[in-house]
Chains A and B, each alone.
Chain A
Amino acid sequence: MAATEIARQVGEGCRTVPLSGHVGFDSLPDQLVNKSVNHGFCFNILCVGETGLGKSTLMDTLFNTKFEGEPASHSQPGVQLKSSTYDLQESNVGLKLTVVGTVGFGDQINKEDSYKPIVEFIDAQFEAYLQEELKIKRVLHNFHDSRIHACLYFIAPTGHSLKSLDLVTMKKLDSKVNIIPIIAKSDAISKSELTKFKIKITSELVSNGVQIYQFPTDDESVAEINGTMNAHLPFAVIGSTEELKIGNKMMKARQYPWGTVQVENEAHCDFVKLREMLIRVNMEDLREQTHTRHYELYRRCKLEEMGFKDTDPDSKPFSLQETYEAKRNEFLGELQKKEEEMRQMFVQRVKEKEAELKEAEKALHEKFDCLKKMHQDEKKKLEDKKKSLDDEVNAFKQRKTAAELLQSQAQQAGGSQTLKREKERKNNPWLCTE
């Protein structure tokens, strides 16, 4: 067999080599884009907010379509999340849009646990992706990514400040998802109140350490617009799907007796800004942040929790999935062992108690026997006594009859003498017997 060796020599660093003609790899971004178009995009939005703040209407307005669903009632027992997926198509781009809404948020009397279902839902999506990634045979490129890319947090238009429920929920969510706070139904706030409200909200968020999503400003083409938009957060939006004739155009608007609010008029509300930022400028960045920051953080925490560590580079790689399963089985085995132990202890205790009871029973039996014996003895004694008394009675009767017989004989013999003698004789037997 021919001996073989590998001698590898890597070029010194990476120098840039000039090209002397057109090679053609400038079509690479186009190749990539075409592939993605064929594959399709997916985008998942989570809308968190109290019932009746216009979440569904805003989604309809943003995506220019009518999603299904009826308005939720206010009497839900707990917070639930309802998710629906839609396939949108625009020219040649297909988008798989998933809209998740909270049902019953903020309606309960005790709202301490309101944020929990939301956090659990987001974690469940991360977990599903992590499970798929850890599998041995996986199909990542065809996997339907259900991780939440953007969370629109609807703030009620009170005009004062954030509610404590809002603060608590946003604090819990800020490390798991990109939060974009928006002021809902902002046609209820006047312009001057709005600026004060926005300032109050941003200062409260900052002072509580809530990290909301900042539009990226590192790429020159979008840095400027993103920078100005960052200053306008939170966006004050109005949603409407009704079209009204204003001037000579049909526009989405809401009509009041005192005027008409146009949704797409930048002077009236920030809806256009939201649409620009969410869809037209930063959709890709939102997806990337979700994958590289939030998902990686979740993955790291989850794996560290399970006890994995990054071993030194010489060790063999292992399948996280299998070792995860192994650890889980280990844990289950321990649980089972504990259960067995408890069962054993229980059985033992029962046995002991049984033995005790048996002994007690035995003692009782013995006592009973004893008593019975005593009873029988006494009965016997009594019978004996009775018998002896009976004998005496019989003996007395016999003597009585014998005496009567003698008496009758004596009478037949006659005479008082005999009477006397009989009397004496009567007395005598008595005397004799005395």
Chain B
Amino acid sequence: MEGQPVQPAPEETPRDANPANVGLELFGYVGIEAVLDQMRIKTMKTGFEFNLMVVGQSGLGKSTMVNTLFKSKVSRKPTGPSYEERIPKTVQLQSVTHVIEEKGVKMKLTVTDTPGFGDQINNENCWDPIIKYINEQYEKYLREEILISRKRKIPDTRVHSCVYFVPPTGHWLRPLDLEFMRRLSKIVNVVPVIAKADTLTLEERAEFKKRIQKDLKAHGISVYPQEDFDDNSDDRILNNKIRDKIPFAVVGADKEHQVNGKRVLGRKTKWGIIEVENPAHCEFPLLRDLLIRSHLQDLKDITHNVHYESYRVQRLNESNRLALSPINGLLGKDEVESDL
């Protein structure tokens, strides 16, 4: 580690530069960057948590998709002929937690499934149980955070990302889709995907995507990655590329087949094998990269810094008005600020 080239401190610092601070030149190697390794070791020891929610009508391949994403039987699908009878009459939420490990990195993965969503004849307010669940997780975290003697590491059950499955009609987003996404994009990171995309040709896919993007913009729905939270110009360029491709057209499969001598995950049909991990066939790799390989930490950060904070502000203001009502005229300056 010795003898690294020294770079003089640039005039501008990468983050909020305080003009009162002095940028100093280092005359030799100090070893500050060893803090990165320290951080890496520490986080590998404590492990990560990730909570994913999948929402969509039954039969769109949600459970298969989750299994394909995490390459394991994370979501248990009910199999057997009695399945058709088991469509629940109401929206239920089922959470399953697993611990998966890869190359020394432990991750506690919680997948929340929502069978029954959008399956009834009258689907009014079918998003209510989901919103309630998400807010309950925020509430749990808030309660832990407010305690006097807090735990060292507060267990994080907040939903970090909600993957919404859009049925591949090829036309436009349905009113149910719009309503749901509009409400949920305010409290959680929503990632819309076109499910079972093997029923659309590539041109139909492109058309559908354009229409969906227009629809989302027209209704003011900001899905992940949200434009307001781009940190710097590099992020913006990267996220713009992603935003062009949203929603991803995905195909899920958990069976392996033989293609050109290799075993690949795919769906076998009479007219060919759709390779899930082939970017020419479907955009599953893009979804996986976004969710896991590149933006997982970002999803968690936005959930913590943005969505959780706005829930907290709202909640504390609410309970303040209740708690402080006997004391008159005590509008603190914080309350006034939050009303702005």
Contact = CB atoms under 8 A, between A and B. Distances in A.
Interface of A: 1-11, 14-33, 35-41, 62-68, 84-96, 135-138, 140-142, 144, 219, 221-222, 275-276, 279-285, 288, 292, 296, 299-300, 303-304, 308-310, 313, 316-323, 325-326, 329-330
B301 A26 contact: no
A150 to B, nearest CB: 13
A68 B90 contact: no
A215 to B, nearest CB: 12
Nearest to A10: B95
A90 B108 contact: no
Contact of A281 (B8, B34, B288, B297): B34
B238 interface: no
Given A10-B96, A16-B99, 15 more contacts: A5-B90, A5-B92, A7-B93, A7-B94, A19-B100, A23-B100, A28-B48, A35-B298, A87-B9, A137-B309, A141-B301, A285-B38, A308-B148, A321-B332, A322-B335
Given A11-B97, A87-B13, A322-B323, A63 B44 contact: no
Contacts of A25: 48, 50, 100, 102, 105, 107, 292-293, 296
Nearest to B306: A141
A21 B40 CA distance: 24
Given A23-B69, A317-B315, A326-B330, A2 B122 contact: yes
A5 B128 CA distance: 9
Nearest to B127: A4
A280 B33 CA distance: 8
Given A19-B72, A88-B24, A285-B38, A9 B315 contact: no
Nearest to A288: B42
A285 B33 CA distance: 14
B231 interface: yes
Nearest to A291: B152
A96 B21 contact: yes
Given A6-B93, A284-B35, A28 B107 contact: yes
15 contacts: A17-B73, A22-B71, A23-B100, A28-B297, A66-B24, A85-B18, A89-B13, A91-B33, A136-B317, A136-B337, A141-B305, A283-B35, A292-B152, A317-B142, A322-B324
Contacts of B104: 26
Contacts of A96: 21
Contacts of A3: 90
A280 B35 CA distance: 7
B213 to A, nearest CB: 27
Contacts of B323: 316, 318-319, 322-323, 326
A90 B38 contact: no
B72 A63 contact: no
Ordered nearest first, which 8 A-B pairs have the shortest CB separation? A284-B38, A319-B316, A11-B96, A31-B297, A26-B103, A280-B31, A24-B293, A280-B34
B127 to A, nearest CB: 9
Nearest to A85: B21
B71 A4 contact: no
Nearest to A16: B99
Contact of B13 (A6, A33, A40): A40
Contacts of B218: none
B316 A322 contact: yes
Nearest to B76: A11
Interface of B: 4, 6-10, 13-18, 20-36, 38-45, 48, 50, 69-74, 88, 90-105, 107-108, 120, 122-126, 128-129, 132-133, 139, 142-143, 146-150, 152, 231-232, 265, 288-289, 292-298, 301, 305, 309, 312-313, 315-317, 319-320, 322-324, 327, 330, 332, 334-335, 337-338
Contacts of A276: 31
Contact of B40 (A6, A11, A29, A144): A29
Contacts of A317: 139, 142-143, 146, 315-316, 319
Given A26-B104, A27-B293, A31-B298, A283 B71 contact: no
Given A63-B26, A136-B338, A14 B128 contact: no
Given A20-B71, A63-B26, A64-B29, A11 B95 contact: yes
A1 to B, nearest CB: 5
Nearest to A98: B21
Contacts of B21: 85-87, 96
A277 B228 CA distance: 41
Contacts of A285: 38, 42
A87 B72 contact: no
Contact of A28 (B96, B125, B126, B296): B296
Contacts of A310: 147-149
A247 B164 CA distance: 69
A137 B332 contact: no
B30 to A, nearest CB: 5
Nearest to A40: B15
B255 to A, nearest CB: 12
B34 A279 contact: yes
A247 to B, nearest CB: 17
A303 B96 CA distance: 37
Nearest to B5: A91
Nearest to B326: A326
A258 to B, nearest CB: 27
A396 to B, nearest CB: 98
A6 B186 CA distance: 21
B320 A319 contact: yes
Contacts of B149: 296, 300, 310
Contacts of A281: 34, 38
Contacts of B334: 135-137, 319, 321-322
A10 B149 CA distance: 27
A74 to B, nearest CB: 27
Contacts of A1: 122, 124-125
Contacts of A62: 30
A38 B232 contact: yes
Please indicate which of the listed interface residues B24, B88, B295, B313 has the most CB atoms of chain A within 10 Å of its own CB: B24
A242 B30 CA distance: 17
Please indicate which of the listed interface residues B8, B36, B143, B152 has the most CB atoms of chain A within 10 Å of its own CB: B36
